[in-house]
Amino acid sequence: MIALNLSWSAIRALVTRAVVLWALLRALVTAVMLMASATGGSGDRLAGPRPFAVVVLCAVLGLVDLKRRREASLWANLGLSRTHLAFLFAIAATAGELLLATVRR
Amino acid sequence: MPILVADCVAKSFGSRRVLSAATLRAEPGQVRVIFGRNGIGKSTLLKIAAGQMSPDSGVVHFRGKAHLEVHQATLARDGVFYLPDHELLSESFSLRRQMRFYEERFRRRSVADAAAMANVSHLLDRRPRSFSGGELRRAELALVLVRRPDCLLADEPYRGIAPVDHDVLTRLFRRLAADGCAVVVTGHEVPTLLEAADHITWCTAGTTYELGTPEAAKRHLEFRRDYLGPHGG
């Protein structure tokens, strides 16, 4: 996967973005769930999306964000493919979901 | 011996065939220029050689190894740098931070040295959105200098910048070539590019012709007539 010789400052910048993206996505999901509960939603709906779905969505939205920022060439010339970048976003989201699951327990 | 060859490349977009049998060669220590009219496929050829786009047929060789499926990130790790005609630098980070990414990753030249060479030391802590066209190009070249690639593919780097910055860019391309980098540049700025080049390639009608030195290119009758015009060269 990612080459051992990394630019840690680049990875840090990307992971920070990934964590912010995950937090925003989770906040949005929570807001939607609260609205649904206020309007008398079902128990299934209140359970929220599965963690795996959040991780996949974070990876996809992360790539969309990089495209919006027009950074494809910057990262590709650094040796980071789209697969690497999606993986980074997914890793950050997975860590977030694990943390959330631990707190909820 | 060329370090990078995109050999006998064909590419169509829908029903429109842009390239039918085009070849790009990058030789260490040389600045090679690809001339050709707008829409003739120069940028497409460069993107295919850089791994940013897949060809319909043809093969890319890098350091003698054939890549039937090329990926830009893989070639970038091995020493190829693709400088697009726009959108290399991110507007989300300062120039210094972006150069640091490359300095840490490849450890080939310091940010300070590269910035001084490209005359962008005063721009390091600013974000690219505030740069002029010439400053942006020099900042992009500073990033290339930090990376110090073995092969640079630059798509129309002189476009939209003031003539005074042409000399700076030419000097930097020549400097990279002197360090052993294989430089391939496309563009339409005939006097500037003829002065910068060691070798001219003419891209026309879906294929490429190796015209040789700038002097030889100027003597090529069809190149003069079809590209340079009656007073060209």
Residue with the two structure tokens 């990262």: A75
Preferred mutation among A77, A78, A87 to probe B, highest tally of B CBs within 10 A: A77
Instruction: Give the model's pLDDT for residue A30.
Output: 86
Asked if pLDDT for residue B111 goes beyond 60, the answer is yes
* Ramachandran assignment for B206, one of left (phi > 0), alpha (psi -120 to 50 degrees), beta (any other): left
For chains A and B, what is the number of CB pairs under 8 angstroms?
67
**Which residues in chain A are closer than 8 Å to B87, comparing Cβ atoms?**
70, 72-73
Contact status of A13 with chain B (Cβ, < 8 Å) = yes
Preferred mutation among B74, B85, B90, B107 to probe A, highest tally of A CBs within 10 A: B90
* Interchain proximity B73–A79, CB inside 8 Å: yes
Q: What does the pLDDT average to over B105-129?
A: 97
What torsion do the CA atoms of B210, B213, B217, B220 make, to the nearest 10 degrees? -80
Reduced to 3 states (helix: H, G, I; strand: E, B; else coil), residue B83 is strand
Asked if pLDDT for residue A27 goes beyond 60, the answer is yes
Query: For the segment A67-89, what is each residue's pLDDT rounded down to a tens digit?
Result: 999 999 999 999 999 999 999 99
Give me the amino acid identity at A42. Answer: S
**Which residues in chain B are closer than 8 Å to A79, comparing Cβ atoms?**
73-74, 76-77, 105
* Interchain proximity A76–B76, CB inside 8 Å: yes
Alpha carbon distance A94, A53 (integer Å): 10
Alpha carbon distance A103, B83 (integer Å): 46
Q: Which tokens is B232 given?
A: 């060209």
Contact status of A68 with chain B (Cβ, < 8 Å) = no
B48-63 b/e (C-beta count within 10 Å ≥ 16 → b): bbbbbbebeebebbbe
Preferred mutation among B70, B71, B72, B83 to probe A, highest tally of A CBs within 10 A: B72
Residue B231 pLDDT level (bands cut at 50, 70, 90): low
Does an H or E element contain B60, and which? strand B57-62
Q: What does the pLDDT average to over B96-113?
A: 97
Alpha carbon distance B12, B20 (integer Å): 8
Contact status of A12 with chain B (Cβ, < 8 Å) = no
Instruction: Give the model's pLDDT for residue B89.
Output: 98
Helices (runs of H) and strands (runs of E) counted in chain B: 9, 10
* Interchain proximity A74–B104, CB inside 8 Å: no
**Which residues in chain A are closer than 8 Å to B52, comparing Cβ atoms?**
76
Instruction: Give the model's pLDDT for residue A1.
Output: 44
Least trusted range by pLDDT, from A32-46, B34-48, B147-161 = A32-46
Contact status of A7 with chain B (Cβ, < 8 Å) = yes
Asked if pLDDT for residue A45 goes beyond 60, the answer is no
| Nearest residue, CB atoms, A6 vs list B73, B102, B105 | B105
Instruction: Give the model's pLDDT for residue B136.
Output: 96
- With 0-12 / 13-18 / 19 or more C-beta atoms within 10 angstroms meaning exposed / middle / buried, residue B47 is buried
Alpha carbon distance B58, B23 (integer Å): 9
Instruction: Give the model's pLDDT for residue A61.
Output: 97
Query: For the segment B1-26, what is each residue's pLDDT rounded down to a tens digit?
Result: 999 999 999 999 999 999 999 999 99
Least trusted range by pLDDT, from A38-42, B136-140, B209-213, B214-218 = A38-42
Q: Which tokens is B189 given?
A: 């700025």
Instruction: Give the model's pLDDT for residue B232.
Output: 62
Residue A43 pLDDT level (bands cut at 50, 70, 90): low
Q: What does the pLDDT average to over B121-137?
A: 96
Contact status of A9 with chain B (Cβ, < 8 Å) = yes
Asked if pLDDT for residue A46 goes beyond 70, the answer is no
**Which residues in chain A are closer than 8 Å to B74, comparing Cβ atoms?**
79, 81
* Interchain proximity B90–A70, CB inside 8 Å: yes
Report chain B's mean pLDDT, rounded to a whole number.
Answer: 95
Instruction: Give the model's pLDDT for residue A2.
Output: 46
Instruction: Give the model's pLDDT for residue A42.
Output: 61
Alpha carbon distance B92, B20 (integer Å): 39
